[in-house]
A = this chain, B = another copy of it.
Amino acid sequence: MPSSGPARTAKRLAQNSPGSAAFDLQHYLKQRVQFVEQALDRAVICRDVPGARLLEAMRYSLTAGGKRLRPILAIASCEAVGGDPEDAVGLACALEMIHTYSLIHDDLPCMDDDDLRRGRPTNHKVYGEAMATLAGDALLTDAFKVLARTRSKRADAAVILEVVAELSDAAGSAGMVIGQALDIMSEGQPTDLDTLEYLHARKTGALFLASVRGGGRLGGADPAQLQALTEYGSALGLAFQVRDDLLDVEASTEQLGKRTHKDDAHGKATYPALIGVEKSRAFAHELVDRAIGALAAFDGRAEPLRRIASFVVERAL
């Protein structure tokens, strides 16, 4: 008799579990991305109800691909402390829903006014500005439902509630949104390195940190592990942003599937603009070393986190 869906999934994930002898990062990423995308597919369902065009608009952006880096980090952090991917799947979906909403709103004409995202027309280009605004609002709101309905074998309700609080803290007026506000306010303004780091720590760093800390909590992390994951996540988030700045300079629109060289066009401060391309590259590598160093006390189950850190700074997309 063939095994059932969930059992089959568990078996497939276990075959390439982090601690196994021949760890293959690409294989790991492919499996976890598939796992997350199946869960996202269930999180927003296009039911036949009045107003279903909203659900369609939400799915349009949510299923548009992307690296799914935040969900992967949540799952890898959960696994690094001994949890299963299933323990972090609610958080993984919530993170990607929040990331996706932020992209939809960022692309709006009143914000960055972008036409292209992940190689496809942006949400408002397809569904109009009003529906795109609402699709973003709904993805953000629904993210907390998906997370709050999480069940983890290794975390009780009080822990899940703390993950909810940390995620909203990271995504709201103390984190991602104030970073975005600052980004808009500082366009064309002279910016120093401290201000740039402050901005990135909020605009992208906070959600990265919530991914690894939340994943760790749901996997049953002890305080020392949570502290190590915090150092890992802080360094990795900044490394990701430095690499993003570099990619905007280096890559073509065709490669990235979104408009490039736009930082320069918008008069936005970036690491390459402030310290040059070579020093930016060196800084990104230094941050990745710092991230990997923070995991020194972890065993082989943290191998995906270590390898993802290297991947982030080497990525061409």
Contacts and interface: CB of A to CB of B under 8 A. Distances in A.
Given A133-B110, A144-B144, A138 B51 contact: no
A148 B159 CA distance: 11
A49 B181 CA distance: 12
Contact of A182 (B51, B111, B157, B199): B51
Contact of A149 (B165, B177, B202): B165
Size class of A's contact patch? 35 or more
A97 to B, nearest CB: 10
Which of A53, A54, A133, A137 neighbours the largest number of chain B CB atoms within 10 Å of its CB?
A137
The dominant DSSP class at the A interface is helix
A22 interface: no
Nearest to A175: B141
Interface in A156-199: 156-158, 160-162, 164-165, 167-169, 171-173, 177-182, 184-185, 195, 198-199
Contacts of A137: 101, 105, 136-137, 140, 172, 177
**Residue from A53, A145, A162 with most neighbouring chain B CB atoms (10 Å):** A145
B172 A141 contact: yes
A39 interface: no
B105 A181 contact: no
A284 interface: no
B134 A148 contact: no
Contacts of A130: 110-111, 184
A289 interface: no
Nearest to A199: B50
A108 B111 CA distance: 13
B172 A142 contact: yes
A103 interface: no
A195 B50 CA distance: 8
Interface of A: 44, 49-51, 53-55, 58, 101, 105, 108, 110-111, 128-131, 133-134, 136-145, 148-149, 156-158, 160-162, 164-165, 167-169, 171-173, 177-182, 184-185, 195, 198-199, 202
Given A51-B185, A149-B165, A160-B161, 6 more contacts: A50-B199, A53-B185, A55-B178, A143-B168, A145-B164, A145-B168
16 contacts: A44-B173, A49-B178, A53-B181, A55-B178, A101-B137, A105-B133, A131-B181, A133-B133, A138-B173, A138-B178, A139-B173, A141-B172, A142-B173, A144-B167, A148-B161, A148-B164
